Structure 1
């Protein structure tokens, strides 16, 4: 934290055995790639979370690795910085680098070409996101998923959780995601919400998300002896 950005880069270059012109060239390449130019003379301890992560990535790339492991690289930084870091990661991938990224954010997992779910120190499943979303356990026969947007979404959630035919109901921003029986009429959902004082309702079909996949997999692991719920 006491070293400047430039001093950190040179320090790690020397750890990797770079000297002279090779050191200068590699530092310049990484500074350009991570857009650290405005902060070269700033102490690392004074950088924001997003720029500290960029500096850490630059230091980890100085020796030109073919594989990079990133443990929750966007934890604790704001949404704008998160987006910028993912743009940076896609740039690394475009250069032919393989990235292993751990994250608790399912919207970030959606960006990955392959996803593995670890729960209680065990790898439950690994695959392409679309294949994981298509698993039979995620799409029970005779069901469908709906996005229900309405006012007072938390009130609506309480009303619909007890409606026969609704298997699961979860808040997603200003709407609810429901897993319902195929036979459940949408009008019945509207009627139930109207009873709760909610009149403005928009219902549309949706597919499962990676968050749905994770919830279903963890619930199946938590059931005794793998019993179905």
Structure 2
């Protein structure tokens, strides 16, 4: 049986404070570090809880203003969907096609279980091509109870398209990008020099109730590749 992830427990406690009036409308909340310490969780767990509550309409998070308790009740409409787009150096869509991969269903690691609240996960690990050359490494982790037959190795690479291919509904996507360099294994897999620069895009997919259902990491070696949001 799937267990409740830690961030969902934290989220429930925070909603209780808001609905009971302990956190009044317009109140500015402490930063993630302080909140994480107050609730006895990691900063990553607190960040996921805040993102989820923002998506449900309980919080407003604005750069330079911090996190505020929302001035209205949670919206009844579907949460806003943030669609990440991968672009090449010319600003056109970066197409990534499956080259080789391995799909599996296995027991979740402790980190995976905490992340998506499931004891078993469907995992897809692939090398992807762009314009005929090996361009990216993908790791996608999904709750196994959503797809007992496992992930399709030939599914489209972007997480929203991959989940749509498997008829899994997604309410919201969140993507973050960072820089990384290849180690020996990644340089061999991508056929690039060691210490080649990579664009690492981490994308999370959420259900309508704010539950995290899938997580994908793309490590992209295409020069000039970048992440845009539409």
TM-score, L = length of structure 2 = 0.31
Q: Work out which structure has the larger RCO, using CA pairs closer than 8 Å and 6 or more positions apart in sequence.
A: 2
Larger radius of gyration: 1
More strand by share: 2
**What TM-score comes out, normalization by structure 1 length?**
0.31
Q: Which has the higher helix share?
A: 1
